[in-house]
Structure 1
Amino acid sequence: MKLTHPMTLDHDKEITMPPLPYFRFWLAVPGLLLVSGLAMAHPGHGAEQGSFMAGLVHPLFGPDHLLVMAAIGLWSLGQSRRLRLAVPCLAVGGMIIGAGLAVVGVGLPGVESAIALSVLLAGVLVATLARLPSLLGGLLVVGFMLFHGHAHGTEMPHGASLVAYLAGFSLATLAITLTVRLAGGWLKARESRPLRVVGAVIAATGAFFALS
């Protein structure tokens, strides 16, 4: 009997990867980042340790950051395999670029409004199960996370190590996105309605943020 992967939504012409190695690969990424982060946070380097932990916990205490990363992870389930593979890296890349702009003093217009709008739009994408071209979807992910990264960079503690801080929130971003995506994949394999409901709730929360 020939077994097929349940997520056969990809119409791109490309070489396929067996599901198990793909799963193991993405589980390994947060672990590798954690090891590198802990290496920078060695007890002999107190500043780096504090910077890493500050970056690690910062996304966890911001509901807007949590929701947009969760929504991006859930939405990526229905995209092409190429985009699914790229989304975690695109999310981290957008965060790092945004934080870098903030650190060097480059401001972005309407950061708070853009963050609220990103939560709203990401929720709508999940609620509608919208499937986008890989290029457009990738640009949206980077655009969403650019503003979130800028906020992270602006709020970086004074005197913190930039590298350790970036490593901390990069690990948090990956962990949240991948964990939610794994849970969402489990749900979607059974029924897509719960994902739509979650997306609608995220979108409504984003609208609340925008109007507050």
Structure 2
Amino acid sequence: MRRILPALLILAPTAALAHTGIGAHGSPFESGLLHPFLGADHLLAMIAVGFFAAMTGGRARWAYPASFVTAMIAGGVLGFEGAALPVVEPTILASIVVLGAAIAFALRPPLALACAVIAAFGMAHGYAHGLEGPGLGGLPYALGFVLATATLHAIGLGLGLAAASLQRPLVARTLGGLTALAGVWLAVA
């Protein structure tokens, strides 16, 4: 526990940075590519999607990330166009808590239900990215954040597969619980 709390505290200052002009980092593509890595909320949720997919197995391994990315692109277009989408920030924070809890409790919802929930989360994340898109370069920025998201999903999938190969479900469940707690921390910090 002594090591976990400082790790969570390190994440807290980045919570406010996720959608408030992290700013340009080189080209628009580079800005989009870096954006998901610089906000703890995006980073945790996107890795959790891949991790949850690995823990669920089967078609979820591709369907969960595909649902997130597809909806994220649609949300990005909405944000880019300035459309109003309610409760984006709470949905983004809920994505971390819900995905972490799903891993922690080893939930195995029906594929269609899980994909719909994950798509709602992806829509919110994409919308937040899309709001910054026009100021950071539009399409190249979007391509960067889509590539970054797919990379984070792949990292989560790899971590989940590695955790599963240990044949110690407590490891995966603990990581899920810590993810959910980090989401709660970000919500209250």
CA distance in 1, matches of 2:84, 2:185: 25
SS of the residue 1:131 aligns to = coil
SS of the residue 1:203 aligns to = helix
1:77 to 47, 54, 68: 54
SS of the residue 1:74 aligns to = helix
Structure 1 match to 2:145: 169
Identity within the alignment, %:
33
The one-letter amino acid paired with 1:136 is L
Structure 2: runs of 5 or more not aligned = 1-25
Residues 80 and 134 of structure 1 are in contact (CA less than 8 Å); yes or no, is this contact kept in structure 2? Answer: no
Structure 1 match to 2:186: 209
TM-score normalized by structure 1?
0.72
Residues 92 and 170 of structure 1 are in contact (CA less than 8 Å); yes or no, is this contact kept in structure 2? Answer: yes
CA distance in 2, matches of 1:84, 1:100: 25
CA distance in 2, matches of 1:136, 1:176: 22
Structure 2 match to 1:182: 158
The one-letter amino acid paired with 2:157 is R
1:87 to 42, 61, 64: 64
User: Which runs of structure 1 show a deviation greater than 3 angstroms over 4 or more consecutive aligned residues?
Assistant: none
Q: Tell which structure's C-alpha radius of gyration is larger.
A: 1
Is the helix fraction higher in 1 or 2? 2
CA distance in 2, matches of 1:175, 1:69: 9
The one-letter amino acid paired with 1:170 is V
Aligned positions of 1:26-105 closer than 5 A? 50-79=27-56, 81-105=58-82
CA-based RMSD of the aligned residues comes to 1.5
Give yes or no for the alignment of 1:158 onto 2:135: yes
- The offset of 1:189, in angstroms, is 1.5
CA distance in 2, matches of 1:182, 1:99: 26
The one-letter amino acid paired with 1:174 is A
Give yes or no for the alignment of 1:200 onto 2:177: yes
TM-score normalized by structure 2?
0.81
Aligned positions of 1:130-149 closer than 5 A? 130-149=107-126
CA distance in 2, matches of 1:71, 1:79: 12
Deviation track 1:114-156 (CA, whole Å, cap 9, x = no partner) reads 1111111111011111101110011111111111111111122
